[in-house]
Amino acid sequence: MSIRCYFCGADTEQRAVTVDERWDSRLVVIEGVPAEVCPQCGEVYYGPEAVRRLDELQRSQDADGRTIEIPVFTFARKGAAETVDIASSSVLTPRS
Ligand SMILES: [Zn+2]
């Protein structure tokens, strides 16, 4: 069952997606989450079943034992002292 994307109006497609979330201070990855995904803008929509199961996983902390390594990036260029003044940008780019 597809829905109409709230943002761009395209019909969504059902897919299994990988979700990354922060649970307290931990960054976690949940694979195989059923979702409706907009093929045009990439917006992802979750049904009540998926939301309920994600809540359940967060409460149970029932991980499957695998861990992955995640690279860490520092935004500032090495040796640079300046900070980025976002308010002075004339063009802001949305990221979903
Ligand atoms: Zn869309």
- Taking the centre of ligand 1 as the mean of its atom positions, its distance from the CA of residue 13, in whole angstroms, is 11
Q: Is 78 helix (H, G, I), strand (E, B) or coil?
A: coil
Digit-by-digit pLDDT tens for the chain (96 residues) are 789 999 999 999 999 999 999 998 999 999 999 999 999 999 999 999 999 999 999 999 888 889 999 999 999 988 877 666 777 777 777 775
Q: Can you say how many angstroms the Cα of residue 48 is from the centroid of all Cα atoms in its chain?
A: 17
Distances (CA, A) of 48 to 4, 33, 68: 17, 12, 28
- pLDDT score at 92: 77
Domains (range + CATH), the chain: 13-92 (3.10.20)
- pLDDT score at 80: 76
- Taking the centre of ligand 1 as the mean of its atom positions, its distance from the CA of residue 43, in whole angstroms, is 5
The token pair that represents 50 in the structure block = 């998926």
Q: How many CB atoms lie within 10 A of CB 19?
A: 16
Q: What is the dihedral of CA 45, 18, 55, 37, to 10 degrees?
A: 10
